Structures are given as structure tokens and as C-alpha cells.
Structure 1
Amino acid sequence: MSAFKTLDDVDVAGKTVLVRADLNVPMSDGKVSDTTRLDRLAPTLTELADKGAKVVVMSHFGRPKGKRSEKDSLRPVAAALSVSLDGRPVSFAEDCIGAPAASAIEALTPGGVLVLENLRFHAEEEANDVEFARSLSVLGDLYVNDAFSAAHRAHASTEAIARLLPSVAGRLMEQELTALTNALEKPERPVLAVVGGAKISTKLDLLGNMIGKVDMLVLGGGMANTFLHAKGVDVGTSLCESDMADAARDIMARAEKSGCRIILPSDAVVARKLEAGAPNETVAIDAIPSDAMMLDVGPDTIAALTAAVDGVKTVLWNGPLGVFEVEPFGTGTFALARHVAELTEKGRVLSVAGGGDTVAALSRAGVDDRFTYVSSAGGAFLEWLEGKDLPGVAALKTD
């Protein structure tokens, strides 16, 4: 990855700093129900404010499709952000450009924090319109991108504006890029990747990139069923993309050629119904009843996977091994997650995980704060694993 500048490379005292954040947080009854993204953003905003900058926060929220919508206003998020900033006052501007934004910034004192109204109230934002980006850029002296989760979109506030102002990465963006670079671009080997989820059709690019980057690739969830089917295993009524068998065989052939070992389940927990507490049994992978479905990996597979992790230096994780949301089919995912967490805490592995289901699974396992880094970026994290160049990151590169 090319070098990028950070807050360490700029003097922000007395300057107006435009911070692209991701304030697209979940809401319930008009209030923020999960402040994780706000809490992660807080260090960048606090550092800028403490150094005497006027801190102006920009973000999208929801899908207003270029029109003003009260339900998509960032006003209640600004109030929640104040809490994440330990009570530091956060002002709010009724628009993200023009007189409302300019007057709100004018009224801000050095060290103050202001949230601009939803960028996506303007259709030009998602169109990456240069004139809209210029309307944003005239509001500040410096641009800080701290929204890796939006970096895969070439929007005016993530890409075009970075061409118009001196631009650096915020602390959250810096952490994300450093963690992903250490895990995928310049990893300590051997590297093991866990890739799970329902379908391989949605992760073909990811799998294609992984087999050329990692030494071992663990496949779980419905995705593993398709690979087993491609190897001639009867997977019963399990979720399986039978039409993707040729693609699975191609991936296995390419993995073998590149020296990447693919690890599939050797046993499975099966049931006739997918419901909490459903009667289940553990069977060898070649003995799945025709009327049963695989819902989790079995103890032999768990033992093999923990042994594999014992022999590596870097672990990448995207996707669960089973239907962890339904008891008792999270056993495999939770067991492996806890083992990776233990090795991480002992300094034996660098562990990086991401993706919505993955973050939820690690949280359920109680280890979401015990990995080296857990990304909340979603789509941007996946596109990075796919080897794609992210517009919001490319705009920050120094060469």
C-alpha cells in the first residue's frame, strides 16, 4: 500500500478541519441505539479539538436519495456524539454547504465541534460531483478522512474533496489501514483466513484474492457446503449453491496451484429444522442424512481448526462457521473465535476480523475486544479483502 499522511503530518491549530466521518449509526425511537462508530471516531475529534482546530464533521445518514428528509437528519446523532466526546458540546448546522454551514462554522470557537447536516440530502454527493465537493472544500482549510467504512464509495465527500484540500487520514482510518496492511499486504507468515457465510457467489472475488495471499483458507457456513458438494459429498438439505460447483472446483484447483491449503469441515452438527433447541446430532461429513442440514461444524473440525491456528502468525476472519445466531449452532464459531483471542492476547498471532456477521459473532463469543483489530467497515472491509483499490483511500495516497 502506498504511504498516506496522518494527523502527525499537519498542524491544525487555528484551522478549520473538515472531518469525513461515518455517523450512519442505528437508531431506535429517534435515538442512537449503538454508539460504537461514534466512540471509535471520538479520538480523532478530541485530538483535533484539543490542538485548537475548529472541527467540522461531515457524514451521510440513511438513504434520502438526494432529498431533505427529517427521518434522515443528523441532528439526533450530533447530540449522541457529544456523549461519546465525554460531554464536549457539539453544534449542528442545518445544511452541509452554503450559508447555513458557513455561519455555523463562523460561530464556532477553536476547539469546538460542529456536525453538518446529511451530505446525501444533495444528490451531487453520491454523484461525486466536483462542484459540490468544491462547495464543501471552501468551508475548511484541511480535510481529514476518518471513514474507512465509506472509503469504497467514490463520493464527493470521500474522493473529489481530497483533490481540493490538503488531505490526511484520521486516527480510525489510520488504524484500519495499518491493521489491514499488516494482515494482508505485509503479513507475518503463515497466514490463515477464515471465510464463512451463506454463499460463494457473493464472495468469488474475495476467495480468488485470498488463495493468492494466504497459506491456509478455512471455509465455513453454507459456503463450505457448496465446496463439499463440488467434491461429491451429499450435503442433504443443507444450504448449497449447486450451480456454483464448477466455480468451487476452479477455486480449489487454483488454490492447490498457488500452495494455499483449503480446509473444509470433517464433521458437522445437523438437524432437520433450523430453530432454537432443535434436535441435532453430530455426524461425519460423508454421513449426513438426506433429510438433515448442516448447521455447525463438529468437534473434530473444531479440533483441526484450533490446531491449524496454533501454527500460524496471522489470522484474517470474515464470516461464521455455522448459524451462530440460533442456539446451539454457534459452538464452532465461538470456540475458534475464543482460541484466536487467547493466542492474540499471548502475542502469538495478529488477528484481524470484519464484516457485519463476523462482528456480531465475535461479540456473541465475548471476544470482539480481544482480537488485534475488528473492523466495523462492512463493504469497504470486504472490497479490501477482494484486492480492490478503494477510492477514498487512493485519494489519500502520497504517490
Structure 2
Amino acid sequence: MSVRTLEDLLADGVSGRGVLVRSDLNVPLDGGSITDAGRIVASAPTIAKLVEAGAKVIITAHLGRPDGAVDPALSLAPVAARLSEELGRNVQLAGDVVGSDALARAEGLTDGDVLLLENIRFDPRETSKDEAERTKLAKALVELVGDDGAFVSDGFGVVHRKQASVYDVAKLLPSYAGDLVATEVEVLRKLTGGDDGVVERPYAVVLGGSKVSDKIGVIEALAPKVDTLVIGGGMAFTFIKAQGSPVGDSLMQEDMIDTCKGLLDQFGDVIHLPHDIVVADKFAADAETSIAMSADGFDSGMGLDIGPGAVERFANVLRGAKTIFWNGPSGVFEFEKFAEGTRGVAEAIVEATKDGAYSVVGGGDSAAAVRALGIPDDAFSHISTGGGASLEYLEGKELPGLSVLEEQA
């Protein structure tokens, strides 16, 4: 990716200039409390560099899916407080997106100040399919940083979206890739072989999560290229059903069965499914459980985790890998009783990393699971901040937020 970087912007000088930063601060909340601050921590270094260089930093970000309406439960207030702690300085929070409060606060910024705009998705123009509407919002954002302002794209988790604060604003200001975005692209290039197309082998991909339809693109893209494709989580049950075994009341996509059959026929030597399943009598933390063999299936109950045999077999498959990409938990890790599959897979990847493998955790629920299980981030080579964006990059799709930066270079 040939783009202008944060270092290029700093070399040009930012002291006294307004710099608009698109960060990904979409963190999980429990009430008003942040349960995983990983994305805030990952976003802070780019902001800190701009602050130290004397920029007037204005951050735009989203939280959840408010569908263009103001939702107090999705205010960025908790994020502003946590980001203040991370930066060691006060981060102002505007009371609106591009309204009178945001404009007044932006005009009052001095060198090194930081302003966080309220949830950008409170404005329906952010996600509008109408380019003219998105452009109006983008121009309002540009007004906040002034004529000599610049734009830093540092929210990798949203670069696959053609949205006002990601795409349209980059066409109106001198635009640069922040350190987080640059690092994410560098990491993912290693998983696709970069310019020479060479990935260190054996190459293993571990996919989990709920639905096959969410991951079908990356399965089809990577199955011909990898040595091992391990499938767990809810999506495994559609594959198990495709093999002819009953899966009770488990999450299963009837309309994807034929697709899964085709994948198993074509890549049966690469795809590894769970050997056994933890079956629950209900979807609850205190459910009664039993173990069922995948080959036999089960007529009642629902599968909420991979079984101990599957963990052992998956660990053996991963043991000799030199490159590993993991996206999606193996079970309902939020319930302790059904977290062992995800824990076992994570620990197997950690061990492979200790033995020299290059391991990437593909953001989203996978990153949340790692932290919920108490596994330190540095146990892996890299933990991504972009779940969907990472998958689309690996699928070979064009990501609008990156392509616009290349056009501006």
C-alpha cells in the first residue's frame, strides 16, 4: 500500500494546525463501563504523537449502531474518560457531532489539545448511501479543523466502510494513514504473502463465530491457500449437518448446507471440524451439559462449545504451524462453562507462537475473548483491531478507506 503516513505529516509540521483523526473507539460496554479498552489503547499512540507535535487534535469515532439517532446509551462519554487516562491529559467531549458545541470547542483549541466529537453515527449522513449527503457531513468535519487542516485515518476497523468520516473526508483534506492502520496493513500483507506471495508454512487458519455466511468469503478465499483450516463456534454446526449428522437445536443455517458440502468435497483434506461437542440443555450459564461425538450428532439440546477431544486435535494440528490467523471464538466464551474450547484453541496458538509461529488474532470477538480469558496481548504476534475489515482484506476485497488514501498519495 503506497500512502502518505503519519510520519510524513509530522515531517511537514502540525504545530498549531487542526488534525482530524478517524479512530476506531467502538469498545464493548456493560452499562456505562468499558469491558475491553483494547481499541482505545491501540488508538492512543497516533493521537499522542500528534499532541506532542503541537497539533489541535479532533477525533471522530463511533460506538454501536444508533442508526442515525441520538442514543444516550451510546454516548462516547466513557470513551473520552478512558482515553484521557491513556493519554494522561484531558480529552474534551463535544455535546454534538458537528453542531454548535463541536464548532465552539474546536475554535477554542490550543496547541496539543484533544477534542472528541460525539458519536459520529448519531448523524444519519455518516452511513448514508447518498454521496451528496455524506459529503455535506464531511465538509462540516473539515470546517472544524480549518483550511490548513489534515486528516489521519487510524480506524482500521472501519476502513471497509464507505462512510463520511472514513472515505469522503479523505477526499477533502491532505490525508495520511495513522500508525495503527499502517501496522494492520503490514500484518495482513504477511498473511497474504505481500508482494512476493510467499507465506511461511505450514499456514493455519482458525475460524469461529456464529454464522457460516459471515465467514464464507474468507473460507473460499483462504481454503485453496492454507495447509489447515480449523472451524469451530456456531458455524461448525452447519458443516456438521452437511456431513449428515443431526445437531439438535444448535445454531445452523439451512441455506448454507449445500455450500458447506461443496467446501468439504473440495477441501476435505484442509478443513478440520470439531471431533466432539459440548451440548447444553438450554442457552444459559448454568445449563446441564453432555458430550456428543460430531459423527453421531445429537437430536436434542444445543452445541455451545467444542469438546475436549476437538481441543486436543486442533492443538495437534496447530502445533507445527509457522503462520496462524485466528478469527472467531470456538464457543459461547461469555459463559465460563462454555469457554474451555476457546481457551484451549488460544493456548495452542500461544504455544505455537512460543515455538516461532507468526500469529494474528483477527479482532472483534476473538480479541475480546483473549482478554476475557486473561491471556496477555503479547502472547500473540499481533492482535488486530479490525474484525470485518481484516476478513475483507484477506478475501482480497477493495477497502474504500484504504483505496482513497492511495488515491491521495
Fold conserved between structures, TM > 0.5: yes
CA RMSD of aligned residues (A): 2.9
2:202 maps to 190
Which letter maps to 1:137?
A: V
Give CA deviations for 1:63-102 in whole Å, capped at 9, x if unaligned: 454455655544554343212212x122344444476545
Residue 80 of structure 1 is matched in structure 2 by 82
The residue that corresponds to 2:59 in the other structure is: 57
TM superposition shift of 1:143: 0.6
Relative to 1, partners in 2 of residues 1:144 and 1:253: Cα closer, same or farther, differing over 3 Å? same
1:287-328 per-position Cα deviation (integer Å, ceiling 9, x unaligned): 345445544333433232212112221111122223333343
Q: Is 2:44 the counterpart of 1:42?
A: yes
Question: How does 1:160-171 map onto structure 2 within 5 Å?
Answer: 160-171=168-179
2-structure distance, mates of 1:230, 1:331:
25
Q: Is the 8 A contact 2:76 2:118 kept in 1?
A: yes
TM-score if structure 1 supplies the norm length?
Answer: 0.86
Aligned CA distance change for structure 1 residues 267 and 72 (closer, same or farther; 3 Å): closer
Equivalent residues in 2 for 1:303-342 (5 A)?
303-342=312-351
Residue 304 of structure 2 contacts residue 338 of structure 2 at CA under 8 Å; is this kept in 1? Answer: yes
Gaps of 5+ in 2: none
Deviation at 1:20, TM superposition (A): 0.9
Residue identity in the other structure for 1:5: R
Distance (whole Å) between structure 1 residues aligned to residue 87 and residue 226 of structure 2: 39
Letter in 2 for 1:220: G
Matches within 5 A, 1:1-399: 2-10=1-9, 11=11, 12-14=13-15, 15-27=17-29, 30=32, 32=34, 34-66=36-68, 72-75=74-77, 77-86=79-88, 88-97=89-98, 100-127=101-128, 128=131, 129-138=134-143, 139-140=145-146, 141-186=149-194, 187-255=199-267, 261-276=270-285, 278-291=287-300, 293-344=302-353, 346=354, 348-367=356-375, 369=377, 370-397=379-406
User: What is the TM-score with the length of structure 2 in the denominator?
Assistant: 0.84
CA drift at 1:31: 5.8
User: Does the CA contact (< 8 Å) of 1:184 and 1:213 recur in 2?
Assistant: no
* Separation of aligned partners in 2, 1:149 and 1:262: 27
8 Å Cα contact 1:234/1:286 also seen in 2: no
Percent identity, aligned pairs only, is: 42
Paired residue type of 2:142: S
Deviations 1:156-197, CA, capped at 9 Å, x for gaps:
110011112221111222222222222235332221111122
Kept in 2, the 8 Å contact 1:21–1:147? The answer is: yes
AA of the residue aligned to 2:87:
L
SS of the equivalent of 1:311 reads coil
Q: Distance in 2 between the 1:273 and 1:76 partners?
A: 34
CA offsets per residue over residues 242-273 of structure 1, 9 Å max, x none?
Answer: 443211112223436xxx61111233344545
> For 2:59, what is the secondary structure of its paired residue?
strand
> In 1, Cα distance between the equivalents of 2:382 and 2:27?
20
Aligned residue identity for 1:363? R
Give the secondary-structure state (helix, strand or coil) at the position aligned to 1:286.
coil
Distance 1:81 1:137 in 2: 23
CA distance in 2 between counterparts of 1:98 and 1:329 reads 46
Decide whether aligned partners of structure 1 residues 197 and 27 sit closer, same or farther in structure 2, where only a CA change above 3 A counts. closer
Gaps of 5+ in 1: none
